[in-house]
Structure 1
Amino acid sequence: MHIMEGFLPPLWCLVWYIIMIPIVGYGIYQIKKITEEYPETKALLAVSGAFMFVLSSLKMPSVTGSCSHPCGNGLGVALFGPAITGVLATIVLIFQALLLAHGGITTLGANCVSMGIVGPFVGWLIYKACLKGNVNTKVAIFLTAFMADIMTYFVTSVQLALAFPVPNFGTAFAKFFIIFMPTQIPLGIAEGLLTVIIWNGLLAYKPELLEKLHIINPKDIPSGDD
């Protein structure tokens, strides 16, 4: 979800920046650590960032001052967790704001918190729970991508309702969330399916690396007979 430039009051822009900065800073530290330990993850980082950029650039009008679109954050969070996904989202959102007039610099903090931090964090919890429950990773990836997408819009609804609580926060939140969902649920399903396709390619091409990162169950590694 991209809240457009100048749409949020300055105080709320500052609040979301304050929340975003330490998490993204920790994500930068994690990127440095993981790329030093596993240099081959640089390619996965690039794929995750590109996937997020392309999907989240496909916007559909949804409500004044905002838009509805896929988020592309499920792949990155399954591979690297929410903090690194926050870094990828920040880079993506900056490029979109500067090159596509999509989002904005003043609203960067709010957009990153929703699309790069909280939404992915919920998706990450779901993915980890699926792994512990021995759920097939393809099913887990679909649920991760779908819920990360939907939770992004849940958080954006909260952000807009906090900034514009008319007539009150609860009513405003319900209005925003209801407006988003008719387009976002089918988009989330499509995003989940597309993420599974990308995941299948990674699983076939780099299964050993995914196992090193402890993000798949050994039973999900394709056998030589597949």
Structure 2
Amino acid sequence: MHIMEGFLPLKHAIGWGLASAPFVAYGTYSIKKRIGEHPEQRMLLGVATAFTFVLSALKLPSVTGSCSHPTGTGFGALLFGPAAMAPLGAIVLLFQALLLAHGGLTTLGANIFSMAIVGPFVAYSVFRVAQAVRLPFGLSVFFAAALGDLLTYVTTSAQLALAFPDPVGGFAASFAKFASIFAVTQLPLAASEGFLTVLVFNALVRYNAGELRAMKLPVKQEAQA
């Protein structure tokens, strides 16, 4: 979903940057507060950032001006809350734009909003709802990561449709076109991300269940997918 450099009109690029800025600022504050209270979580924060960087760098060609890939942000959102993923995602997206030519600087705000704001908040909300209805931990993680990934691409489709409405059908027709093209690659990628996130959580639970319980995650000694 990384929209490439220079693809969005200037006013859209600025608008999405302004919309993302408060989330990045608050997320930075939340991380500083949390690490100040729990310095032992620094390593796990680094793992969450690396997980996002690696997964979101695995890109496949998709919509013109964009691409499909896992996002990895659901994992960090479940560990540290969705707000924390805004600055972490911003760092990931900035480095990918500068080092991998993946995304861009002018489209950074739009990419942050879809991948590092909407995706994590959806993943976190889905996880909490799934736990409230007493789904198994592994299934809760799966649905959270998969739907967080999918809603990231729904958001990107809306961003592209706003920037490039269909001459006849307007926003709705353009959104349908972008979303349907993304769906070809993103549906299997979202499922794959869900399964991978469950596997990573299972490994964490197996070797570090105590720390996860201290982070208010409802895990037993070993999570079940």
TM-score of Structure 1 vs Structure 2, range by shorter chain: over 0.9
Aligned to 1:184: 186
Aligned to 1:5: 5
Aligned to 2:207: 205
Give CA-to-partner distance per residue, 1:143-198, whole Å, 9 cap, x none.
01100100000000000000011220000000000000011000111111111111
Identity percentage over the alignment? Answer: 51
Matched position secondary structure for 1:40: helix
User: How far, CA to CA, are the matches of 2:66 and 2:129 in structure 1?
Assistant: 32
Give how far 1:11 is off.
0.4
Give how far 1:91 is off.
0.5
Give how far 1:37 is off.
1.2
Give how far 1:135 is off.
2.0
User: How far, CA to CA, are the matches of 1:76 and 1:87 in structure 2?
Assistant: 12
User: How far, CA to CA, are the matches of 1:127 and 1:210 in structure 2?
Assistant: 15
1:169 equivalent in alignment to 2:171: yes
Matched position secondary structure for 1:206: helix
Structural RMSD (CA): 1.0
Give how far 1:134 is off.
2.6
Aligned to 1:23: 23
Structure 2: tracts of 5 or more residues without a match: none
Q: How do 1:32-71 residues align onto structure 2 when only pairs under 5 Å count? A: 32-71=32-71
Give me the TM-score of the superposition, normalised by structure 2. Answer: 0.95
Aligned to 2:125: 125
User: How far, CA to CA, are the matches of 1:141 and 1:185 in structure 2?
Assistant: 17
User: How far, CA to CA, are the matches of 1:202 and 1:130 in structure 2?
Assistant: 20
Aligned to 1:145: 145
User: How far, CA to CA, are the matches of 2:74 and 2:23 in structure 1?
Assistant: 18
Stretch of structure 1 that moved more, 75-84 or 156-165: 75-84
Paired letter, 1:108: L
Paired letter, 1:150: L
Aligned to 1:85: 85
User: How far, CA to CA, are the matches of 1:93 and 1:30 in structure 2?
Assistant: 20
User: How far, CA to CA, are the matches of 1:148 and 1:40 in structure 2?
Assistant: 27
User: How far, CA to CA, are the matches of 2:135 and 2:30 in structure 1?
Assistant: 27
User: How far, CA to CA, are the matches of 1:132 and 1:32 in structure 2?
Assistant: 29
Give CA-to-partner distance per residue, 1:65-117, whole Å, 9 cap, x none.
11111111110111112110111110100000000000001100000000000
Paired letter, 2:68: S
Aligned to 2:107: 107
User: How far, CA to CA, are the matches of 2:149 and 2:85 in structure 1?
Assistant: 13
Give me the TM-score of the superposition, normalised by structure 1. Answer: 0.95
Paired letter, 1:179: I
Paired letter, 1:180: F
Counterpart of 2:198 (choices 186, 196, 199) is 196
Paired letter, 1:178: S
Aligned length: 220
